[in-house]
A and B are shown apart, each in its own frame.
Chain A
Amino acid sequence: DVKVTQSSRYLVKRTGEKVFLECVQDMDHENMFWYRQDPGLGLRLIYFSYDVKMKEKGDIPEGYSVSREKKERFSLILESASTNQTSMYLCASSIGHNYGYTFGSGTRLTVV
């Protein structure tokens, strides 16, 4: 079974803090993704990466950045956390263009 592991299940951070969300996958997948999930809005793509050091913006990249220094690890960075970034963050990986994702368990981030 492919495993996608997110380092934290719950996080509480203060406004203005720099926040790091970590994601690791163990199946040598090329593609990794960060989504946020909000009720009624579904899953919205923040950033994705198709190779080490390669990244592309998704639909809602503002206020976020990413890092992929190793193939198995994809980090989401909130440069200066704000309350409107309170959400569930889901990491996913996939093997290629016409294949489904394997999701991590999610990180519920609360910014106060």
Chain B
Amino acid sequence: GENVEQHPSTLSVQEGDSAVIKCTYSDSASNYFPWYKQELGKRPQLIIDIRSNVGEKKDQRIAVTLNKTAKHFSLHITETQPEDSAVYFCAANAGGTSYGKLTFGQGTILTVHP
């Protein structure tokens, strides 16, 4: 089945710096890659996603890049703010008839210091 590896497990930055979180996946048939943000005590929320027909997608201060050949994708957050502090999860869908099943990475705890 699909395997998703996420790095780093923790990331500490100063306010205004950029943050990058990287994920690799194993199933070459995967074609959908969402990112979720989970604030303390809350449910994971979808913040951005990318499909395999696109190499990059941007939404204000966040962007995601996808390299299908290397089977990795990354989340980029620019001009970080304290409210960006949270756990971030990457995910990839399974190829074939998977009914939308997602495999998640282990999570990255991002701390933005004022």
State the interface size on chain A (CB cutoff 8 A): 29
A-B interface contact total, Cβ < 8 Å: 66
Determine, out of B14-22, B59-67, B74-82, B102-110, the stretch whose residues face the partner at the interface: B102-110
Q: Are B89 and A90 in contact (CB under 8 A)?
A: no
Given A40-B106, A59-B1, does the pair A100, B34 have CB atoms closer than 8 Å? Answer: yes
B26 contacts A by Cβ under 8 Å:
no
Tell me if B31 and A98 are in contact (CB < 8 A).
yes
B111 at the interface (CB under 8 A from A): no
CB neighbours (8 Å) of B1 from chain A are: 59
A48 partner, pick from B32, B101, B107, beta carbons under 8 A:
B101
- Any chain A CB within 8 A of the CB of B98? yes
> Mind listing 8 A-B residue pairs with CB under 8 Å?
A35-B104, A41-B106, A59-B1, A96-B100, A98-B93, A100-B49, A101-B44, A105-B42
Residues in B with CB closer than 8 Å to A31 are 99-100
| B89, B102, B107 — most chain A CB neighbours (10 Å) | B102
Report B-chain residues with C-beta under 8 Å of the C-beta of A95: 100
Question: Is A61's beta carbon under 8 Å from chain B?
Answer: no
Return chain A residues, CB-CB under 8 Å to B45: 103
Residues of B at under 8 Å CB distance from A?
A: 1, 6, 9, 31-32, 34, 36, 42-46, 49, 51, 89, 93, 98-107
Residues of B within 8 A of A59 (CB): 1, 103
A interface, CB within 8 angstroms of B = 30-31, 33, 35, 40-45, 48, 50, 56, 58-59, 90, 94-106
In the bound complex, residues from chain A placing their C-beta under 8 Å from that of B49 are 100
Rounded to whole Å, the gap between the CB of B64 and the closest CB of chain A is: 12
Given contacts A44-B104, A101-B34, A102-B46, 10 further A-B contacts (CB under 8 A): A30-B99, A45-B103, A48-B99, A59-B1, A90-B43, A97-B98, A98-B51, A98-B100, A101-B102, A104-B43
> Is B99 within 8 A of A42, CB to CB?
no
* C-alpha spacing A50/B94, complex, angstroms: 14
B43 near A106 with CB under 8 A, answer yes
Contact assessment for B100 and A94 in the assembled complex, using a CB-CB cutoff below 8 Å = yes
